[in-house]
Amino acid sequence: MATAILSSLFLLLATLVCSSIQVCAPDCTGVDPGTLVRDPTDCTRYYACLSINGEMIPSDVPTDCPDGQYFNPSHTIPRCDPIETGMEGYCTNLCNPCVPDCRADNPGTVQPHTVLCNEYYVCLEGGHTLLETCPSENPYYDFRTGDCQSDNTLCYNYCDPCVPHCTYDGESVSDPLDCHSFYVCSPPNMAHFLCPSGLVYDPVTTQCGTFACNTLCAK
């Protein structure tokens, strides 16, 4: 029993030492000012990279491509192109900014808490997570560097729990405004459905049934 506990602690310490940052946010690393980069949550939107105090930072809010277009980051100059010209898989590899991505194949990565700026997750083996809290002297987690610091302007702010997020074709997600409704995803599109006879949609089983109604956001 003691050996098993020591082994677990050793694995945990090794994971913390070898941890790397992984986050669902626009990436302006290594690009020039004014470069447009993809929104990792939506293939029809993009961010502009800005040079602020010598650091490349994405714009505060994304820009939508015109209707019927997607953002093409593979073009010589990244731009919006007509959806019908998109290559196969043009709207894949999306992430949900409100769900820490601690899968079984990425232990050691560090991710911000999607709501609380003073907390962050360390991904462990088997898809488990370890929730850590920043110390009082440096209470804010900087999701870009993975460090706790004193500047509250560096908090992760990409999660809006009142917006449904699609990440892959065939996925079904709750309607945050109505517990009786859900969406079926085909990025960049999503179709809205209503459960029959007043039943409630359950995001765990992805079924309509006699579940408790827990509407996340008010209309």
Q: Residue 61 falls within a domain, yes or no?
A: yes
Q: What would the pLDDT profile of 90-149 be if each residue is shown by its tens digit?
A: 999 999 999 888 876 677 888 899 999 999 999 888 878 899 999 999 999 999 888 999
Q: Looking at residues 167-178, what average pLDDT do you find?
A: 96
Identify whether 180 is part of a domain: yes
Confidence class for position 22, pLDDT limits 50, 70, 90: low
- C-alpha–C-alpha distance, residues 49 and 57, integer Å: 6
> Per the domain annotation, does 134 fall within a domain?
yes
What integer pLDDT is reported at residue 15 of this predicted model? 42
pLDDT digits (tens, 9 = 90+) for 48-100: 999 988 889 999 999 999 999 999 999 999 999 999 999 999 999 999 999 88
CA distance 97 to 114: 7
Whether residue 173 is found in the same domain as residue 204: yes
pTM: predicted TM-score of the whole model, two decimal places: 0.82
> What are the distances in angstroms from CA 121 to CA 17, 32, 84, 164, 215?
14, 31, 39, 22, 26
pLDDT for the residue numbered 17: 41
106 shares a domain with 135: yes
**Domain annotation covers residue 13:** no
Query: Does any domain span residue 20?
Result: no
Q: Report pLDDT for 20.
A: 58
Distances 182 to 163, 173, 177 between C-alpha atoms, Å: 12, 6, 10
Is residue 189 one of the residues assigned to a domain?
yes
Q: How far apart are CA 172 and CA 43, in angstroms?
A: 18
Verify that 149 and 192 share a domain, yes or no: no
Q: How far apart are CA 112 and CA 156, in angstroms?
A: 7
What pLDDT is stored for residue 18 in this prediction?
A: 45
Q: What percent of the chain has pLDDT over 90?
A: 72
> Which residues form the domain of 186?
162-219
CATH code of the domain covering residue 185:
2.170.140
- Total domain count for the chain? 3
Instruction: Tell me the backbone φ, ψ of residue 131, rounded to 5 degrees.
Output: -90, 120
Q: What is the pLDDT of residues 175-198, one digit of tens each?
A: 999 999 999 999 999 999 999 999
Is the confidence at residue 163, as pLDDT, over 90?
Answer: yes
| 1 assigned to some structural domain | no
Cα-trace Rg, the chain? 20
Task: Specify if 53 maps to a domain.
Answer: yes
pLDDT band at 9 (very low <50, low <70, confident <90, very high): very low
pLDDT value of position 46: 98
Residue 6: pLDDT above 80? no
The amino acid present at 28, given as its one-letter code, is C
CB 126 within 8 A of CB 20: no
Which of the two residues, 214 and 47, has the higher pLDDT score? 47
